[in-house]
Homo-oligomer: A and B are copies of this chain.
Amino acid sequence: MRALVNIYYSEAVMFDEFFAPKSVSIVGVSLEKEKLGNQILRNLLKANFKGSIFPVNKKATISTHLNGLKVYPALTEIPEKVDLCIIVVPARFVGSVIEDCGEKKINAAALITAGFKETGEEGAKLEDELVKKAKKLGVRILGPNILGIINTYENLNASFAPTYPPAGNIAFISQSGALGCTLLDQCRQEGVGLSKFVSLGNKADIDEIDLLCYLKDDIHTRVIMGYLESIQRGRDFINVAGEVVKEKPVIMIKSGRSRAGRRAASSHTGALSGADETYDVAFKETGIIRAKTVTEAFEMLRGFSSERFPRGKKVLLVTNAGGAGILATDACEDYSIELASLTEDTKNRLREKLPSASSISNPLDILGDAEPERFEFTLKTISPDPNVDVILLIVTPQTTTKPKEIATVVQKLFKNEEKTVLTCFMGGEMIKSAIPILHAAKIPNYRDPDAAIKVLRYMIEYTTKYRKEEEKIRLFPVEKSKAKNILIKEKNKGYLEIGGGKALQIMKIYGIPTVENYLAKTIDEAVQIAKRIARPVVMKIESPAIIHKSDIGGVKVGVKNRQVPDAFRQILENSRKTLQGKNEIDGISIQPVVKEGKEILIGAVADETFGHLIRFGLGGRYVELFRDFATRLVPLSVNKVDEMIQETKIASKLLQGFRNEPACDVEIIRNCLLRLSQLVQDIPWIREIEANPLVVWEKGGVVIDARIKIGKED
């Protein structure tokens, strides 16, 4: 796993050839200005690239020149070494250019050309062939169908993007060229500085995971921003992203949220799989910050790129307007942000100099007529207060307010300090001149307290949660092969959905407590079993062909001893009606009625991209009505399990003991979830598994019913 993240030396060198080439060739440079190749050439020149540039045009003669550069008829004709080859020729000619790359020992090819997988089957075939060829020749491909590459620290603009962004500490990966253009343009306008920009296109070879690995160690990059539409290698993504996030924050827009519904799987737990919810879980687990909108992404970038990470959670609001203070307080509650309480010492010092009408509290209101000196005094006084981790300064432009001078005060006080300071200079025309001063001092400014506090919330979460070592995963000794064999046997008989006694048996093998469960093949056997149990029993049809037993009258609850024969006959009759002649009845399973408890659901479902997701929540008949779930990816750890339990709205409170009820045995749930996680990792071809209900009492608990789905092709 480590190897994935700490990329091999040779890979790092290859990526350097993409991002910091000493020489670039553009193959397919047209003499017409409007054409892409020509635009890329001009972009390279305009950005003032320091290395050599070799345009290639197959029609070039010995004397062809473009923008003062000699144009070569082929890559192979270039007399010098080429680090990066930008390919712009039509799709059908790309193959031979790749061959030339191989011949010239070029490792890095950025394939601008479109007309591959995105156009349909034929294009996909062409793309596959290309990748195979490139692999054989040792050429790595970025693209095809990309906007290009930018590295502001190397003056490299190997793209046809119309805007070149300012230099900064953010690396931006985009799966869409058009949105790449758009966001670059917005970066320019908002003064958001980038270290690198890279367009992913069809991701035929290099993908976001490779880039995350590379950017993890890139010294110019302090924040990684991504626009993604899909992720293929889900598990690798999680492992890599988890490691990268420990080094630097990663902010992602993942679009296509609304397609979620389409992939809803057949069974009801299946709703998890492939859905957008899975991306949410994956991002949450790795600590990737998911921005819902472009606006939100820029808000996050502003905050995270400041590198002013909060050392704690307590925020002081300072303002010159009561109303703005109220708005900010509202936002603090919305985002669960803790308000700092100033020490008595700080309060006394503030009282000495601030006007008596000021509110020495939080929000700290220094009044509408506050001049820059009053802001300076206040900020200086509160900054060293040990109770204040973060300062949010809210300035409204009132009659005598001097926003520019106040911004200068902020710059002076905090430019070289690590203190987490955010500002919210509200309004428009009057505060315009203040903003560049703030940004120059790496103080993120927001127009609205709500945005500032939202970002703060993410920053606090990032520093407190994701920058620490991971937990060990607990493993239990179990008879794995025994469980596996039961499933294989069923599969060989053609049954892909396994319920009742067999599913309970699998759980039991993995140490998950299950209800006593006996199979009766005859009425006599049933009577014997019921007598032994010596309590009212539950009787259920046991047939691999009947999954939703109660719907067909295949279940009887609270059957007394003397009622057993009748119940047996009735269940058989109902089941036979359903089976219509097929002889697939194993018998009738008999369980004692268990005492009332809280009904919980635990389950897992395989996601194509990310592996198994474990679900925990309120169980019982109405599980889909309440939808009170928490979800995590395998492997589970104790911390993850506790987070899951906390995350549910209803189940967590129910287990704690609602009103006068006693608390439930949470340890048994923790244990069941960890064991379930191990089970689906041991037998990864389990598509779905669900225990519902797991009845939990003050002490102990048991699974009453379970279902397992396995894949046909596994």
Q: Which residues of A contact B (CB under 8 A)?
A: 34, 36, 39, 119, 160-163, 175-179, 181-183, 185-190, 227, 229, 253, 255-258, 292-295, 320-324, 326-327, 329-334, 357, 368, 396-401, 426-432, 447-451, 551, 621-622, 624-626, 650, 653-654, 658-660
Which of A39, A229, A294, A626 lies at the interface centre, i.e. has the most chain B CB atoms within 10 A of its CB?
A294
Closest to A181 in B: B398
Bound CA–CA A236/B232 (angstroms): 59
Bound CA–CA A617/B255 (angstroms): 35
Q: Is the CB of A396 within 8 A of B448?
A: no
Chain B residues near A368: list those with CB within 8 A: 177-178
Assess A293 versus B162: contact at CB under 8 Å? Given A428-B187, A658-B622.
Answer: no
Chain B residues near A178: list those with CB within 8 A: 320-324, 368, 396, 398
Q: Is the CB of A660 within 8 A of B551?
A: yes
Bound CA–CA A258/B357 (angstroms): 23
Closest to A36 in B: B399
Chain B residues near A327: list those with CB within 8 A: 179, 253, 255, 293-294
A326 to chain B, nearest CB (A): 4
Assess A329 versus B258: contact at CB under 8 Å? Given A186-B428, A227-B323, A430-B185.
Answer: yes
| Subset of 25 A-B contacts with CB under 8 Å | A34-B400, A160-B399, A162-B430, A163-B430, A175-B323, A176-B322, A177-B368, A178-B396, A179-B327, A181-B399, A182-B426, A186-B426, A188-B429, A227-B323, A229-B326, A256-B326, A257-B334, A258-B333, A293-B331, A293-B448, A551-B660, A622-B650, A622-B658, A625-B650, A625-B658
Q: Is the CB of B426 within 8 A of A229?
A: no
Chain B residues near A333: list those with CB within 8 A: 257-258
Q: Is the CB of B330 within 8 A of A181?
A: no
A269 to chain B, nearest CB (A): 15
Bound CA–CA A659/B176 (angstroms): 42
Closest to A192 in B: B428
Chain B residues near A428: list those with CB within 8 A: 163, 185-190
Closest to A450 in B: B293
Q: Is the CB of A396 within 8 A of B257?
A: no
Bound CA–CA A449/B253 (angstroms): 14
Q: Is the CB of A448 within 8 A of B295?
A: yes
Bound CA–CA A365/B162 (angstroms): 21
Chain B residues near A397: list those with CB within 8 A: 162-163, 181-182, 185
A702 to chain B, nearest CB (A): 22
A161 to chain B, nearest CB (A): 7
